[in-house]
Amino acid sequence: MSIRHSGIGMTSQRTRMRMVERLRQQGIRDEIVLSVMGEVPRHLFVDEALAHRAYEDISLPIGFGQTISNPHTVARMTELARAGGDLNKVLEIGTGCGYQCAVMARVAKEVHSVERLLQLTAKARKHLRDARVINVRLRHGDGHAGVPTAAPFDVILMTAATTHVPKALLEQLKVGGRMIFPMTKGTTQHLSVIERTAQGYTEKKMDVVNFVPLLPGTG
């Protein structure tokens, strides 16, 4: 049996636990997030030729000029999304291979995810099925538009960098909700967190990151 389908084996489990310990040393404090990171089989979401590197703290190519984020970035964004509390409904912009989506699905009741590339949407659907993730609704579409029919969302998570926040997405946040996204300013990117309050929106700049850009349209 290949590593791709042997995620329940002891070797893979030990490898995931080493990854979790590394995440803890890197500053991830949310024990629920750490537990989920140890449960989700990251090797199912990368090409089989790269499966042996799945639990290293690196991003990996997934085709079509896209990447799967490194585990620390996924854990950090999930930690910021949870903010220590339970989540009901989450919107993800940029499904990619489906890994961040699978992690969010373990900490939220319902995840909606939009991917602009049709072939990646199909791959993510298969990966999520292989990982037995059932509380996710995938859509092929332009992430700038979000999913207004499912709004409002507790959290909107963007996995591609932008220079401005699409107004449509801000409007789909519930009051008390948060948007976590990489913001590009000049030559640098930072994770940003926008919170919607009854009075408007507040923004905080967080960690330095490196994401592919958020593109309009579909492909």
Q: Which residues are known to be catalytic?
A: 69
Beta carbons of 68 and 46 less than 8 angstroms apart:
yes
User: Which residue, among 94, 54, 48, 50, has the nearest Cα to 70 in the 3D structure?
Assistant: 54
Range 175-204 burial, b when 16+ CB lie within 10 A, else e? eebbbbbbbbeeeebbbbbbbbeeeeeeee
Helix (H) or strand (E) holding 14: helix 10-25
The H or E element containing residue 114 is strand 108-115
Question: Torsion over CA of 30, 58, 204 and 87, rounded to 10 degrees?
Answer: -40
Q: For residue 161, what are the CA distances in angstroms to 106, 164, 189, 211?
A: 24, 9, 8, 6
Number of residues that make up the chain: 219
Alpha helices in 26-117 (DSSP H): 31-39, 71-82, 99-105
